[in-house]
Amino acid sequence: MTTLSAERSGITGSVVRSVTVIFLLLALSVCTWGQSIHPLSSESTVTIASFNLRVFGVAKASKPAVMTILAQIIDRYDLVAVQEIRDKSGTAIQKLLTMVDAENSNYRLILGERLGRTSSKEQYAYFYNSSKLELEGSPYTYDDDNDGSTVNKVDDTGLNDLFEREPYLAHFKTTQGAFDFVIADLHTKPSDATKEISYLPMVMTDAAKHYGEKDVLVVGDFNADGSYFKESTYQSDFPAGNFIWLIGNSVDTNVARSDRTYDRMVGSESMAEDFEGLSGTLRFDQMFDLRAMGLKALDISDHYPVWAEFYVDNDTD
């Protein structure tokens, strides 16, 4: 696990100044926002988001306009779980943190280990606004080999290897108010989506026991639609009364023309008291005039970020 801040990322001040200029230029290209773009959180709420960055690595980090848009998207939320970081060097995600902090220096990054059964490894990460949220305890990668060890060792050949990329978990508390929760980040293997999604209640039970906290939120690119997953199965995996759906089957999280709910946010029923009632997607192709910048939506990602808003002072557990 790695925790970083922009001050320690090794990126020079000249890069930060250049990024600031890019932010100003891009601000001129922002178009009228649609209803799917929610305003920033208030002092009484925190916003939590999930975003598949689509093959995020050195090549993508070398594109200033793309990186600036990604940074502005992340800066809209108090906590963002990201998926599909593919960068063995670790420099791309540090550069993105620096660009986020160029807009708001309160952001911090928690980076998980590289995971996957093949040479194509991925990492999960959490960006969080340290003025709104603080990390409680130590993050961990779910130990799906069930060997009882406190150190995760991915069992890539055993029968208990449940996930291609095991969920990455962390415990956060709001700096104001009583709301605290555990969050788990997941990117399923598409062909195994049905099986991996069915294991998530078990992950949530493990998380609640690990941290002694019953408010557990699972987010990420579940590949929970289309040929990968039958949406009718979602009710069986997360029945009402035990779970709350923050992103339901009718929400389109796919940038392509096909209507697909690949990305999800599902919480334990105890989080119902904290949920403010607002959730949705961020349609960045409506937020930015990408064509004027010489970009396509897929240059940013093939997924829209999904988000939900929570009260900071309604938590009673």
pLDDT by residue for the chain (317 residues), tens only, comes to 555 544 344 444 444 444 443 433 433 333 333 335 665 667 899 999 999 999 999 999 999 999 999 999 999 999 999 999 999 999 999 999 999 999 778 999 999 999 998 899 999 999 999 999 999 999 999 988 665 554 445 444 455 789 999 999 999 999 999 999 999 999 999 999 999 999 999 999 999 999 999 999 999 999 999 999 999 999 999 999 999 999 999 999 999 999 999 999 999 999 999 999 999 999 999 999 999 999 999 999 999 999 999 999 999 98
Q: Which of 131, 216, 105 is nearest to 170 (CA)?
A: 216
Tokens standing for 242?
A: 């035990």
Predicted TM-score of the model (pTM): 0.86
pLDDT at 43: 87
- In angstroms, the CA 308 to CA 278 distance is 6
* 187 assigned to active site: yes
Task: Output the CA–CA distances (angstroms, integers) from residue 78 to 24, 73, 255, in the order listed.
Answer: 22, 11, 23
Q: Which of 38, 84, 122, 303 is catalytic?
A: 122
Return all residues near 38 (Cβ < 8 A) that are at least 6 apart: 47, 278, 280, 282, 307, 309
Residue type, 94: Q
Return all residues near 259 (Cβ < 8 A) that are at least 6 apart: 252
Residue type, 13: G
Q: Which of 171, 187, 210, 303 is catalytic?
A: 187
Residue with the two structure tokens 């799917």: 36
For residue 107, what are the β-bridge partners?
Answer: 129
Dump the DSSP string for 205-229.
HHHHHHHT---EEEEEE---SGGG-
Residue 175, classed as helix, strand or coil, is coil
pLDDT at 298: 97
Q: Go through the domains of the chain in sequence order and give each one's CATH number.
A: 2-311 (3.60.10.10)
Could you tell me how far CA 110 lies from the centroid of its own chain? 11
pLDDT at 116: 92
Strand arrangement, sheet containing 263-268: 133-141, 168-174, 180-187, 216-221, 263-268, 243-245
